[in-house]
Chains A and B, each alone.
Chain A
Amino acid sequence: KNEVEQSPQNLTAQEGEFITINCSYSVGISALHWLQQHPGGGIVSLFMLSSGKKKHGRLIATINIQEKHSSLHITASHPRDSAVYICAVPTDGNQFYFGTGTSLTVIP
């Protein structure tokens, strides 16, 4: 059973395209995290959000708590955006449920 589902699993886009990655979850949460995993393996936290929308540069994350759904958007995508994007939700404790990740490749 997957508490966190992401789609698509793989995504290839042309430079400049608008990209959307989706995350659905089945557990009740207070917040949701979007993480970026670089090709070398390192993980960076992009967003933590509990309602509405957050924007950081060309990245926008939205969440609908009622529908248990979040999206990560990248505007004007660039090859350096190529990475694995992971949706993660915390449990009541200190664990995270992680999605399987969306592997994004942006072609010049």
Chain B
Amino acid sequence: EPEVTQTPSHQVTQMGQEVILRCVPISNHLYFYWYRQILGQKVEFLVSFYNNEISEKSEIFDDQFSVERPDGSNFTLKIRSTKLEDSAMYFCASSEVRGAGYTFGSGTRLTVV
């Protein structure tokens, strides 16, 4: 069964450093998403991406965050200058159509120290 692949599975970074989280969505999917889950809290929406541009973003997704689909297969989330509170599990998801048929990746656990 097709999967959404995320790498790395766990990343530890120093506060203030830039991190790039990588995702390979399912190949025929057109909509891409990033979510995060701070430990012990519920999953939160960050951003959705369609047709090479951001279609929606939450207030969490400030200027420190950016997304890119550099080569038609990878979908990346960049955090420019990490803060301690960015420590969370970050999930990528993709869907073939808007609002349905989501497949989630297994997540990247980001720890900012």
A and B associate: yes
- B-side interface mostly: strand
Give the tally of cross-chain contacts (CB within 8 A). Answer: 60
Residues of B within 8 A of A (CB): 31, 33, 35, 37, 41-45, 48, 50, 55-56, 58, 89, 91, 93, 98-107, 109
Number of chain A interface residues as a range: 20 to 34
A residues within 8 Å of B by Cβ? Answer: 30-31, 33, 35, 40-45, 48, 86, 88, 90, 93-96, 98-101
Q: Chain B residues with Cβ under 8 A from A99's Cβ?
A: 42
Chain B residues with CB below 8 A from A98, complex form: 42-45
Closest residue of chain A to B43 (Cβ to Cβ) is A98
* B106 and A93 form a contact (CB under 8 A): no
20 A-B pairs in the complex with CB atoms less than 8 angstroms apart: A31-B99, A35-B104, A40-B106, A41-B89, A41-B109, A42-B104, A42-B106, A43-B91, A45-B102, A48-B102, A86-B43, A88-B43, A93-B48, A94-B31, A94-B98, A95-B56, A95-B58, A96-B43, A98-B42, A99-B42
A41-B107 CB under 8 A given contacts A90-B99, A94-B31, A94-B98: yes
Asked if B104 and A93 sit within 8 Å, CB to CB, the answer is no
A55 to B73, CA, bound (A): 33
Instruction: In the A-B complex, list the 9 residue pairs whose CB atoms are closest, starting with the nearest.
Output: A42-B106, A94-B48, A43-B104, A95-B45, A98-B43, A93-B56, A94-B56, A100-B42, A90-B99
